[in-house]
Amino acid sequence: DTGVSQNPRHKITKRGQNVTFRCDPISEHNRLYWYRQTLGQGPEFLTYFQNEAQLEKSRLLSDRFSAERPKGSFSTLEIQRTEQGDSAMYLCASSPEVGARDFFGQGTRLTVV
């Protein structure tokens, strides 16, 4: 069990630039989630994949956000035309089945300047 891996750990970008984050879940986990956490708050759900299918998206996921999970393995989260309000920690989690515990990665901290 190598755990959930997220890259990069930190990203500083200028407003208006595009950024992409990657999440590698635990290999046998078919369920993958993205969350966003702003300072002093709990994480908020962004989107859910079961294998390669994106089954749920939060209202928080504006048109500038897109997520993919090709072949049901790793996932990417892209933010286009970043805004200062996008500055947050982006967390990825995976789990093997309904009702099982979730395993979180260390997160990617995005700072938009």
Partner 1 sequence: SQQGEEDPQALSIQEGENATMNCSYKTSINNLQWYRQNSGRGLVHLILIRSNEREKHSGRLRVTLDTSKKSSSLLITASRAADTASYFCATTLMGGYNKLIFGAGTRLAVHP
In the shown chain, the binding pattern of residues 49 to 88 toward partner 1, with x for contact by CB under 8 A and - for none, equals -x----xx--------------------------------
What's the min distance (Å) between Cβ of 4 and partner 1?
8
Cα angle, residue 42 at apex, residues 95 and 82 outer, rounded to 5°? 90
Select the residue interacting with partner 1 from 19, 24, 35, 110 (CB under 8 A).
35
Comparison of 16 and 60: residue with beta carbon closer to partner 1: 60
User: For residues 48 and 33, is the Cβ–Cβ distance under 8 A?
Assistant: yes
CB atoms within 10 A of CB 98: 7
Using the rule CB under 8 A, is 42 a contact of partner 1? Answer: yes
Torsion of Cα atoms, 84 then 40 then 25 then 71, to 10°: -40
Question: Closest Cα partner for 59 from 36, 26, 92, 82?
Answer: 36
Which residues of this protein are in contact with partner 1, per CB under 8 A? 31, 33, 35, 40-45, 48, 50, 55-56, 89, 91, 93, 95, 98-99, 101-107, 109
